[in-house]
Amino acid sequence: MNGELLLGKKGEPKPRWDRVEFHFDDDTCLHYINMRLIGKVALYPTVDETDIPEIAKLGPEPLDRRFTYNHII
């Protein structure tokens, strides 16, 4: 991942290199800061992360209970 996430309040000055802002009902904002412009933010209309091609090709989630020793050998 490239860039960083910064939580702020509505009305505060935008951080330098702010590329995407998410505004919430409690007047907080989540800023995606990306100086080098090589990061990516995407929204997908799904609740199942395996429907997202970029995520589906990743390996098994190591914190999932179904992850076992057999996945790493």
Please give the average per-residue pLDDT across 25-29, as a whole number. 96
Give the residue carrying structure tokens 């939580």.
7
Task: Give the integer Cα–Cα distance in Å for 19 and 21.
Answer: 7
Name the percent of the chain lying above pLDDT 70: 96
Per-residue pLDDT band at 17 (split at 50, 70, 90): very high
Please give the average per-residue pLDDT across 1-29, as a whole number. 91
Which residues span the domain enclosing 9?
4-71
Q: Say what the pTM is.
A: 0.64
Number of structural domains, the chain? 1
Task: Give the integer Cα–Cα distance in Å for 29 and 19.
Answer: 13
